[in-house]
Amino acid sequence: MSLLFRAFRHDAHARRRASHRHPLLRLLIVIGLAIASPVVAYAGGVYVAEQGVPVVKAMGQALAENPQKSDKPFWIVVSGADTALLTKSRASADTRQMVRTAKERGAEIYVCRSDLVRAGIKEEDLLDGVVAMYGYGPQDWSGLLPARKDGIALPVDMTQSQRILKTCAGEPRPGS
């Protein structure tokens, strides 16, 4: 019995030593398993630049998570004071490049119309590819249809659509 045990033990040690001598074989096995497993797509989604999240950070995250043109669109929504950073007169060269790159990769870039009114910015002052939109309050989700009629592309996912519309749900203040 001891002879049989030694034979199995010797065989196990030999296999272990052989695997150390063939790291390429191990690499090929890992690559094969990686190819066989399903790929998780991280592209798409809604990125919101609002109070506490600067437009450059939101755009940077959107571009990092959508590194190439995809059939899965993504949305960048900018509200608050950062809307002014997407105008022809105030956008930095880096911001302009980020907008161009995002558009090339399939992004829809929206700013809140109420924030434009507050800041006295006209829609024609926005960078090319940036669109002003109205938001809708929680009682007006039927407003999704007018948004689509106005040429506003919204996600199919209702939760993501609501996130976009809630971001821009603020009303312009009288006298602004």
- CATH at residue 103: 3.40.1260.10
58 shares a domain with 122: yes
pLDDT, residue 91, reads 95
pLDDT, residue 36, reads 36
Q: Which of 94, 35, 84, 20 has its CA nearest to residue 63?
A: 94
> d(Cα 120, Cα 118) in Å, to the nearest integer?
6
63 shares a domain with 13: no
Q: Give me the average pLDDT of each 10-residue run along the chain (176 residues).
A: 48 53 53 37 74 88 90 90 94 95 94 91 96 70 52 76 77 42
126 shares a domain with 56: yes
Residue 109 pairs in a beta bridge with 76, 130
110 shares a domain with 79: yes
pLDDT, residue 174, reads 43
Residue 89 within a domain = yes
Residue 174 within a domain = no
49 shares a domain with 22: no
Q: Which of 167, 152, 147, 86 has its CA nearest to residue 119?
A: 86
150 shares a domain with 126: yes
> d(Cα 106, Cα 118) in Å, to the nearest integer?
29
Residue 176 within a domain = no
Count of structural domains within the chain: 2
pLDDT, residue 73, reads 87
pLDDT, residue 134, reads 79
Residue 108 within a domain = yes
pLDDT, residue 148, reads 53
Residue 92 within a domain = yes
Residue 172 within a domain = no
Domain that holds residue 80: 45-167
52 shares a domain with 13: no
pLDDT, residue 30, reads 43
User: Quick one: three-class SS letters along 113-151?
Assistant: HHHHHHHCCCHHHECCCEEEECCCCCCCHHHHHHHHHCC
